Amino acid sequence: MDTLTHRIKTYARRLGFDLVGVAPAQPAAHADFLRRWVDAGMAGEMHYMTRDVERRVNPQAVLPEAKSVIVVALDYSSSPNHSTPAPPNHPTGRIARYAWGDDYHDVMRQKLNALLEFVKAEAGAEVQGKIYVDTGPVLERDIAALAGIGWFGKNTNLINTRRGSYFFLGVLLLDLALDYDEPSWTAHCGRCTACLDACPTQAFVAPYVLDARRCISYLTIELKGAIPRELRPQMGSWIFGCDVCQDVCPWNRKHAQPTDESAFFPREGFESPNLIAWLRLTPDEFRTRFKGSPLQRAKRRGLLRNIAVALGNAKDPSAVPALIDALHDEEPLVRSHAAWALGQIGTAAARQALEEAMATETDEKVREEIAWAIKTVDGSVD
């Protein structure tokens, strides 16, 4: 069958995309869910989610002549069935597997640009197209379900029956009519609630509804300020993103496919980062090490904040010297979370360093964290 749609799909696969589907450009089926979610405040400080709600649910708002949306998916996981590496002799953190390699925005955008060029070559240079990978006002999972890429799991991720959910989505809006795929609205979770039960921060208020303000992915990547103190102990060793609700999903356990995209292969040390070494990264070292990596998004202060929380949770006294140095970092956000971590570890050296820092610290928020940490060591926190 040599239709334009077929040729586009074949070319998309040749570019390396693992799944490709085509949907009519129409208002999002679950627009009301998004409106309710935003109104309930569940987007937290993600202002890009609250600003453009009506644009986000309507493809014609971003491309008025849009007729079709090509949706592509690219697998990113390197070890779908999580093989735990041998424990090293220093505290290690965890990074969500989507961030082990290069930044997916660049990888996907390059491929989608090539796809748009192909469409223009096949259908005429005057064809208008718009590409989005995560950054634009598009409800990507909704369009992807309409294009038959996968169905909504209770963990809100889009799941494909043959591949699980470890894939990125990207969309190409076109002012061109194409042949459309069958939508995949039917959920296949059945009575399984593994993801809802396993979430370390109890971030799901109901199946299909995630309160982003509690999600470790939000806390470690999107939140710019202090991490709420009551959630820190539940974050375990996650320092960037979180995979728990996908790792426990039976569809991933049985069907996840290792990525063929070499750009997503793990960078050295990303599968089990050495927390003490990373806490000591200078601004220059941070820039060099995370060039082209998704971790850049957290900025140095955000990443060191997360590392301090993970070290506080590890309660490993070998981290105390590095945390004492971080207690004097140039960033108040890093100092305040280092103070918390020292309070959790609670050795005599940690307590003394907290006392000394209190004598010179001028930032009110950091002082408050230090005072709380000292109380924790002394056992006088409720």
The closest alpha carbon to 194, from 113, 252, 129, 239, belongs to 252
Instruction: For residues 234 and 285, give the distance between their C-alpha atoms in angstroms, rounded to a whole number.
Output: 29
Are 107 and 131 in contact by the 8 Å Cβ rule? The answer is no
Region from 77-85, 117-125, 162-170, 251-259 binding ligand B12, contact rule CB under 6 A: 162-170
For residues 208 and 372, which CB has a smaller minimum distance to ligand B12 in the complex? Answer: 208
Instruction: For residues 321 and 342, give the distance between their C-alpha atoms in angstroms, rounded to a whole number.
Output: 10
Which among 32, 39, 52, 134 is annotated as catalytic? 134
Which of ligand SF4, ligand B12, none lies near 250, with the C-beta cut-off 5 to 8 A by kind? none
Q: How many residues make contact with ligand B12 (CB under 6 A)?
A: 36
Rounded CA Rg of the chain: 23
Q: Which of 75, 103, 140, 331 binds ligand B12 (CB under 6 A)?
A: 140
Instruction: For residues 352 and 368, give the distance between their C-alpha atoms in angstroms, rounded to a whole number.
Output: 16
Beta carbons within 8 Å of 308's beta carbon, 6+ residues apart: 279, 323, 326, 334, 337, 338, 340, 341
For residues 248 and 281, which CB has a smaller minimum distance to ligand SF4 in the complex? Answer: 248
Instruction: For residues 154 and 14, give the distance between their C-alpha atoms in angstroms, rounded to a whole number.
Output: 32
Q: Determine how β-strand 204-206 pairs with β-strand 209-210.
A: antiparallel
Helix, strand or coil for residue 172? strand
Q: Which of 12, 17, 23, 30 binds ligand B12 (CB under 6 A)?
A: 30
Can residue 241 be called a binding residue for ligand B12 (CB under 6 A)? yes
For the question of residue 134 being annotated catalytic, the response is yes
For residues 12 and 203, which CB has a smaller minimum distance to ligand SF4 in the complex? Answer: 203
For residues 61 and 209, which CB has a smaller minimum distance to ligand SF4 in the complex? Answer: 209
Token output for 60 = 């014609």
Which of ligand B12, ligand SF4, none lies near 93, with the C-beta cut-off 5 to 8 A by kind? none
Q: How far is the CB of 71 from ligand SF4 (least distance, A)?
A: 22
Can residue 227 be called a binding residue for ligand B12 (CB under 6 A)? no
Instruction: For residues 271 and 93, give the distance between their C-alpha atoms in angstroms, rounded to a whole number.
Output: 8
Q: How far apart are the first and last CA of the chain?
A: 70
Can residue 198 be called a binding residue for ligand B12 (CB under 6 A)? no
Q: Compute the C-alpha angle 191/153/222, nearest 5°.
A: 135
Q: Which of 61, 123, 187, 205 binds ligand B12 (CB under 6 A)?
A: 187
Q: Which of 102, 142, 329, 369 binds ligand B12 (CB under 6 A)?
A: 142
For residues 157 and 306, which CB has a smaller minimum distance to ligand B12 in the complex? Answer: 157
Token output for 289 = 């090490």
Q: Which residue type is seen at 139?
A: L
Q: Which of 189, 245, 307, 334 binds ligand B12 (CB under 6 A)?
A: 245
* Bridge partners of residue 167, in order along the sequence: 75
Which of ligand B12, ligand SF4, none lies near 244, with the C-beta cut-off 5 to 8 A by kind? ligand SF4
Region from 85-93, 109-117, 205-213, 360-368 binding ligand B12, contact rule CB under 6 A: 205-213
The residues binding ligand SF4 (CB under 6 A) are 155, 199-201, 203, 210, 215-217, 242, 244-245
Can residue 263 be called a binding residue for ligand B12 (CB under 6 A)? no
Are 72 and 19 in contact by the 8 Å Cβ rule? The answer is yes
- What residues numbered 36-55 form the site for ligand B12, per CB under 6 A? 37, 46, 49
- Torsion sign over Cα 25, 77, 218, 301: negative
Binding region for ligand B12 (CB under 6 A): 30, 33-34, 37, 46, 49, 96, 98, 133-134, 138-142, 152, 155-158, 165, 167-169, 187, 208, 210, 212, 215, 217-218, 222, 241-243, 245
Positions marked active-site: 134
